[in-house]
Amino acid sequence: MNELAAAVPWLGKRNPMAARWLILIIAIVAPFIAWQFGKSWVRILDFALLYMMLALGLNLVVGFAGLLDLGYIAFYAVGAYTFAFLASPHFDVHLPFWVILPLGAGFAALAGIMLGFPVLRLRGDYLAIVTLGFGEIVRIFMLNLNYPVNITNGPQGINMIDPINLFGWDLSRNIQVTENFTINSLFLYYYFFLLAVAASIVFIQRLQISRVGRAWAAMRDDELAAKAIGINTRNMKLLAFSLGATFGGVSGCLFGAFQGFVSPESFSLMESIAVLTMVVFGGMGNIAGAVVGAFVLALLPEVLRDVAVPLQQTLFGHVLLDPEVLRMLLLSLAMILMMLLRPAGMIPARARYSHDHHLSNKLKQGGAK
């Protein structure tokens, strides 16, 4: 969690420990604050956590390994559809959550490798287009695989997906504590997703500060030099694709179960771009950036929905820019302006690829001599 301190401006640098505690406190009380504004805001926070996980996974591919993946949402789709197939009346299969989660992650990882193989030798910009094509192919299949055999149920998608059930504890049920105090299901999902995000951060940070993370960064900074020091760039790229996809797959599973239905509409190119914008906005290549980017850009469109729409009503008497347009406008402008004005992102922290305590031990030894 160390890397997360950078998410808090000013304090993160001076007192990382305090910054980490602050983040933890915010993370815990956030849904209670959101609840004050209405139930839908807790729901929005839940989705923000899923986006966070997606952004963390995409950041691993784009920010660490330098592979611009524009079809990332396809892995989210693989996870979501895996859950939908295996826990809904569609095929009348209802496997337990803990069985499907690794399956969804595994299928997504497999899809990542499948995408990885053909694009290994491609330069950055070609890679972007091919991955975009991959995302579109997945979407086209989701849309059309309802004929001649109905697999995906086409554009309607799959409904009535089972909720997350943790060993008999159904997260979709509110908990009645006393007569006039219930814990809403949205809170349960929130804390469960929060744990998932925290685990993702721990894993990704471990990868970052390791032999693997350094190999990715080396490949990103100079592929030829990376090969010249013995890095098998092919394997490292496949690894980045499959691990990045795994995070997409896991969050897809969570998404499917949480939302209760999946349809191709949720996995459009726009969503891939949205996740990419989150990574770019926060700052490519660092964990805090992905977290902040996802948080801000998942919430801001909703805030705009609540603020800008009534504002337009009062100002012009009708809605000029509907919420969806506002979201697209926000994301595309964020992407362009960040690249032009602040390419390192809002949280321009340099990612560490080595433990500083190792070095300081070393320096102490050196000083003692």
Distance of closest approach, residue 184 Cβ to another protein, in angstroms: 33
* Per-residue DSSP letter, 351: P
Q: Judge whether 335 and 280 are in contact, CB under 8 Å.
A: yes
Q: Which two tokens stand for residue 110?
A: 């497999």
Interacting residue with another protein among 132, 164, 253, 262 (CB under 8 A): 132
- Compare residues 23 and 218 and give the one whose CB is closer to another protein: 218
- Compare residues 86 and 284 and give the one whose CB is closer to another protein: 284
Of 282-321, binders to another protein (CB under 8 A) are: 284-285, 320-321
Of 36-75, binders to another protein (CB under 8 A) are: 62, 66, 68, 70
- Give the closest residue to 235 by CA, choosing from 105, 134, 113: 113
Of 219-248, binders to another protein (CB under 8 A) are: 220-222, 224-233, 239, 243
- Compare residues 174 and 354 and give the one whose CB is closer to another protein: 354
Strands in 72-136 per DSSP E: 87-88, 93-94
Interacting residue with another protein among 81, 134, 192, 255 (CB under 8 A): 134
Of 6-25, binders to another protein (CB under 8 A) are: none
- Compare residues 72 and 190 and give the one whose CB is closer to another protein: 72
Distance of closest approach, residue 301 Cβ to another protein, in angstroms: 13
Interacting residue with another protein among 36, 167, 179, 340 (CB under 8 A): 340
Instruction: Determine the Cα–Cα distance for residues 312 and 324; give it in Å rounded to an integer.
Output: 14
Does 191 help bind another protein (rule: CB under 8 A)? no
Does 105 help bind another protein (rule: CB under 8 A)? no
Beta bridge partners of 169: 166
